[in-house]
Structure 1
Amino acid sequence: MQIFITGGTGLIGRELINRWLEQEYQVTLLTRSPEKALSYFQDHAAFCHVSAVHSLQVFTNFNQFDAVINLAGEPIFDHRWTAQQKDRLWQSRINLTEKLTALINASENPPQCFISGSAYGYYADNGDQIITESQSAGQNFTAQLCQQWEQVAKQANTRVCLSRTGMVFSPKGGALAKMLPLYRYGLGGKLGNGLQFMPWIALEDMLNAIDFLLHTPSCQGAFNLCSPNPVRNKDFNRLLAKQLHRPAFMNVPTFLLKLILGERACLILDSQNLYPQKLLEQGFSFQYSELADYLRSTFGKSAINV
């Protein structure tokens, strides 16, 4: 199988590429620094099956690819949402997806599948309401960004899957890896009132889900890529602290989070009780559906080391 991927040097992308190299797929990744990107995979036995390009301008169509995986995007939490930063977030998602869609549509023999990123921010704040894929988009910035991102991807003349992804948990990177040092030093605690639901998914399940979408022809449209059991922030705090054998009595009040983070505080204060209805209906099985099981399996006794 010939796969084209954007975001191939990120946490999810690198693991996917390693998985596909094990299966001897041919993988081409888009990256600003091809030489650096390829260095991540140079020790792999199937290194000859991966290549990199720095620009989409080297293509006039995507006839040679069986699938396109779009995971790229400016990190959404790293910087305050000034007008300039919002434009960067928009450009990195919408413009790139427009170019990928155009190349797919210019193909006489287009890729069989286009898996394009989205996020749980599509839904904005819904309190305790259970959210399936049929729920309409919210009205805030993240919701409108995700909605437009998806609309562009849906213009591709192929089978399109949209991944409304929860927080991807892994000690290798992402949100959980950033939180671990605080918890290990006993500085963990709930955010706001702690009642907001956090949609999450283990990295292992995220990889399996993308692979499942890729190889299941009946999968099409938007999918909530998250555990069927989201947790409230206060319960996440309790479970992680318990697993690490550390206290977690800190509490960052809502007003302070909004003061420090500005508009992007919604990313950690909005409540999204997501349920992966379509994924489960298609027959996908989660390796980790309960957060306590995931934390126990991932960290075990070694987690108490600072």
Structure 2
Amino acid sequence: MLVAVSGSSGFVGTALVAGLTAAGHDVVRLVRHRPAAANEAQWDPEQGVVPLARLAGVEAVVHLGGVSVGAHRWTRKFKRQLHQSRIRSTTVLASALTGLAARPRVFVCASAMGYYGPDRGRELLDEESGPGDGFLAGLCQDWEQAAAPAKAADIAVCHTRFGFVIGPDGGALKPLLPLFRLGLGGHFGNGEQFWSVISLHDTVRALRFLIEQHGSVGPYNVTSPEPVSNGEFSRVLAAELHRPRLLPVPGFALQLAVGQASEELLGSLRIVPARLAEAGFEFDHPDARAIIRAAL
């Protein structure tokens, strides 16, 4: 199968391209720079430029582009960048796909667990749960709506609502590891908030599943089937590193350090991947210990 991937140089995108290639698929990487390899094609979503000739014959498109949520403190300017980088690129790509003589079968577009809001307490959230409030919830709703042109052209559109992706070289674990290796790690706030996490390995497998499984359409929570409290996650991480867990991080300290982005770390989202499970997907790393061990 020929698959096009945007955001292919990012944490998830790099692993996805490697996974697709290993599985025998051909990949076209949509990149912003001048192509440096045969499998790269340049696009410019700001200018609305998509290399349609290079997408001829593509059966699946995975869109992972967008400025990283954790790249900067959430100033008003940065929040505009977060919104524009996702909405503009998704609209441009989804619209361009409708102009292909042979349209792809499926368009898998990234979204995030922020769809459900910053904090839903102990409420069990699946894909039927309504959206939450706040900046990220609004961003995710706009993000998913931006893929409407592809849906209107009878392309199957999947919205992958990612949880915290845990891997060895990036994602949610990267900023935590140095402190935990020194024995200085701890839970955030009171530690009782649910974190919906998933291994990078299972993230790639889930994306491949949605690409390869005919009939996949609509929202999919890409999280492990066992949400874990932040306190338990930090306990398991410290234990796997054979280090003490000594210093909880107060909520006000997180707010001072990262501003509004602290909502993601202090809020509680207890999310389950109901639709992946219903479709027959099985996780290799279903719980926090397996996820952390895979990353380490």
TM-score (normalised: structure 1): 0.89
CA contact (8 A) 1:127 1:196 kept: yes
Q: Deviations over 1:104-142 (max 9, x none)?
A: 122232110000000011101100010000111111000
Shift of 1:35: 4.8
- Displaced runs of 4 or more, over 6 A: none
Q: Is the 8 A contact 2:199 2:295 kept in 1?
A: no
Change (3 A) 1:134 1:58: closer
Q: Which amino acid aligns with 1:66?
A: E
In 2, the alpha carbon distance for the partners of 1:155 and 1:55 equals 18
Match for residue 190 of structure 2 among 190, 193, 212:
193
Secondary structure at the counterpart of residue 190 of structure 1: coil
Partner of 1:155, secondary structure, is: helix
Equivalent position SS for 1:250: coil
The aligned residue for residue 21 of structure 1 is 21
Q: 2:203 corresponds to which residue?
A: 206
Query: Does residue 142 in structure 1 map to residue 136 in structure 2?
Result: yes
Give the Cα–Cα distance (whole angstroms) in 1 for the partners of residues 225 and 5 of structure 2: 27
Check 1:74–1:212 CA distance in 2 against 1; reply closer, same or farther (3 A cut).
same
- 1:164 maps to what in 2? 161
Task: Give the Cα–Cα distance (whole angstroms) in 2 for the partners of residues 210 and 63 of structure 1.
Answer: 21
The 3 A distance-change label for structure 1 pair 284 and 241 is same
Q: What is the alpha-carbon distance in structure 1 between the residues aligned to residue 148 and residue 245 of structure 2?
A: 43
Aligned amino acid, residue 117 of structure 1: A
Q: Name the CA distance, whole Å, in 1 between partners of 2:43 and 2:275.
A: 35
Paired letter, 2:145? Q
Q: What one-letter code is carried by the residue in structure 2 that aligns with 1:75?
A: S
The residue matched to 2:3 in structure 1 has which SS? strand
| Shift, 1:52, TM fit | 2.9
The 1:99/1:256 distance shift into structure 2, 3 A limit, reads: same
Supply the distance in 2 between the matched residues of 1:239 and 1:159 (Cα, whole angstroms): 39
Q: Which runs of 5+ in 1 are unaligned?
A: 39-47, 300-306
Secondary structure of the 1:117 match is strand
Residue 173 of structure 1 and its aligned partner are, at CA, apart by 1.4
**Are the counterparts in 2 of residues 34 and 54 from structure 1 also a CA contact under 8 Å?**
no
Residue type of the partner of 1:106?
Answer: G
2:145 is aligned to: 151
Tell me which residue corresponds to 1:51.
Answer: 40
**What is residue 42 of structure 1 aligned with on the other side?**
none
Q: How many residues align?
A: 288
Residue type of the partner of 1:88?
Q
Q: Partner of 1:32 in structure 2?
A: 32
Separation (CA, whole Å) in 1 of partners of 2:22 and 2:249:
44
| Deviation, structure 1 residue 58 | 4.8
Q: Do structure 1's residue 269 and structure 2's residue 263 form an aligned pair?
A: no
Q: Give yes or no for the alignment of 1:237 onto 2:234.
A: yes
In structure 2, do the counterparts of structure 1 residues 9 and 34 end up closer, same or farther at CA, with 3 Å as the change threshold?
Answer: farther
> 1:29-72 CA deviation, whole Å, 9 max, x = no partner?
12223456x4xxxxxxxxx6x22324362535754311110001
Looking at structure 1, the residues matched to 50 and 275 of structure 2 have their Cα atoms a distance apart, in angstroms, of 36
Structure 1 Cα separation of the partners of residues 224 and 146 of structure 2: 26
2:278 paired with 1:281:
yes
Distance, in Å, in 1 between the alignment partners of 2:107 and 2:215 is 13
Kindly indicate whether residue 117 of structure 2 is the aligned counterpart of residue 128 of structure 1: no
Question: Hey, which of these two has a bigger chunk of helix by percent?
Answer: 1
Q: Is the 8 A contact 1:30 1:55 kept in 2?
A: no
Structure 1 position 24, deviation (Å): 4.1
Q: Which amino acid aligns with 1:149?
A: W
Distance, in Å, in 2 between the alignment partners of 1:20 and 1:210 is 10
Instruction: Indicate the residue corresponding to 1:224 in structure 2.
Output: 221
The residue that corresponds to 2:11 in the other structure is: 11
Do the aligned partners of residues 196 and 225 (structure 1) sit closer, same or farther apart at CA in structure 2, a change above 3 Å counting?
same
DSSP-derived class of the 1:249 partner: coil
What's the Cα RMSD here?
Answer: 1.7
1:75 aligns with 2:68: yes
The normalised TM-score by structure 2 is 0.92
**Number of the residue aligned with 1:41:** none
1:259 to 247, 256, 273: 256
- Quickly say closer, same or farther: Cα 1:296–1:80, change in 2 above 3 A: closer
Indicate the residue corresponding to 1:44 in structure 2.
none
CA distance in 1 between counterparts of 2:237 and 2:52 reads: 49
Query: What one-letter code is carried by the residue in structure 1 that aligns with 2:116?
Result: Y
Letter in 2 for 1:64: G
CA distances 1:148-174 after superposition (whole Å, capped 9, x unpaired): 000111331200110000111111211
Give 5+ residue unaligned stretches, structure 2.
none
